[in-house]
Amino acid sequence: MKSSTKVSVGIIGGSGLEDLLDEANHIQVGTPFGLVPSMSIGKLKTEKVAFLPRHKTGHTVPPHRINYRANILGLHQVGVERVLATNAVGALTQNLKPGSLVVPKDFMDFTKLREGTFYDEGRVAHVDMSYPYCPEIRSVLMRAGERVGQKIWGEAVLACTEGPRYETPAEVRMLQSLGCDIVGMTGVPEAALAREMQMCYASLCYVSNMAVGLQNRQITSELASIANRMKPTIREVLIGAIMSLPKTRNCVCAHALENARL
């Protein structure tokens, strides 16, 4: 790896955020799990950042086919220690509306088909998920929102479904009754894989719609327009957060494997 490619902060972005970075160079990274979507290394203000478009540029990979292991390992290989993800989500509670920003505190995993660990064979590890998202990046994101006058919801539980279809009304009622606040298709296993690699990971979710049954129109049409509308705010919050990350990591994530291996 050339030293010019080394970068310690990465953003995993959903659709519509591909051109987030300035002065970007594109690189192709290979991993034992396969190729990573073309990544860009560029600048957010003064900070050097890697950007990985989760669905590939042009949005050709659906949530259940994303190679989450390659993506996390690829970021790790270029030196990334801290990941800020963005995810589109549906709101399960009437407190949230399209356009709301959420930094989830916890998640529930309803995915079915995904490779969710780097510890499949050879060595066994059970990483602790008492703090499912990096507490340090979460608080930095919340403060960045405050500074630009943007309310960010910080107590939410994310339900991650398999997709690619949306939930049924009965599934939405189930998720609500279990205590989930937002629902998306891409947050898991990203967060857990990052923890297994001892990388910090937190997510800035934007609500693109009310979940099925909570609004009387179909969801798909509004997703792209909300992403576009939210882009300047998401960019501003990410820049604010990245600029104020402490130089060294002071969180549980960096030591996640210390007591995890049997």
Q: Which residues bind ligand HPA (CB under 6 A)?
A: 88-90, 161, 166-167, 183-185, 208-209, 211, 219
Cα→Cα distances 71→37, 54, 77, 156, 208, Å: 8, 8, 10, 25, 24
The interaxial angle of helices 135-147 and 220-243, nearest 10 deg, is: 100
Pick 73 or 191: Cβ nearer ligand HPA: 191
Nearest to 108 by CA among 180, 194, 49: 180
Q: How far is the CB of 152 from ligand HPA (least distance, A)?
A: 18
Least separation, in Å, of the C-beta of 184 and ligand HPA?
A: 4
Min dist CB 46 to ligand HPA, Å, is 32
Residue nearest to ligand HPA (CB): 90
Q: Which of residues 219 and 257 has its CB atom nearest to ligand HPA in the complex?
A: 219
- Name the residue nearer to ligand HPA (CB basis): 79 or 163: 163
216, HSE (Cβ side, Cα atoms, 13 Å): 0
What tokens appear for 237 in the block? 């919050």
Q: Which is nearer to ligand HPA, 87 or 198 (CB)?
A: 87
Work out how close the CB of 47 gets to ligand HPA at its nearest, in angstroms, rounded to a whole number. 28
CA dihedral 60, 64, 66, 71 (to 10 degrees): 150
What are the b/e assignments for 113-146, b being 16+ CB within 10 Å? Answer: ebebebbeeeeeeebeeebbbbbbbbebbbebbe
- What are the structure tokens assigned to 32, written together? 């034992």
Shortest Å distance, C-beta 182 to ligand HPA: 8
CB of 137 vs ligand HPA, minimal distance in Å: 22
Between 19 and 222, name the residue whose CB sits nearer to ligand HPA. 222
Q: Which is nearer to ligand HPA, 6 or 165 (CB)?
A: 165
> How far is CA 88 from each of CA 12, 121, 141, 241, rounded to the nearest angstrom?
12, 33, 16, 19
Structure tokens at 184: 């998306």
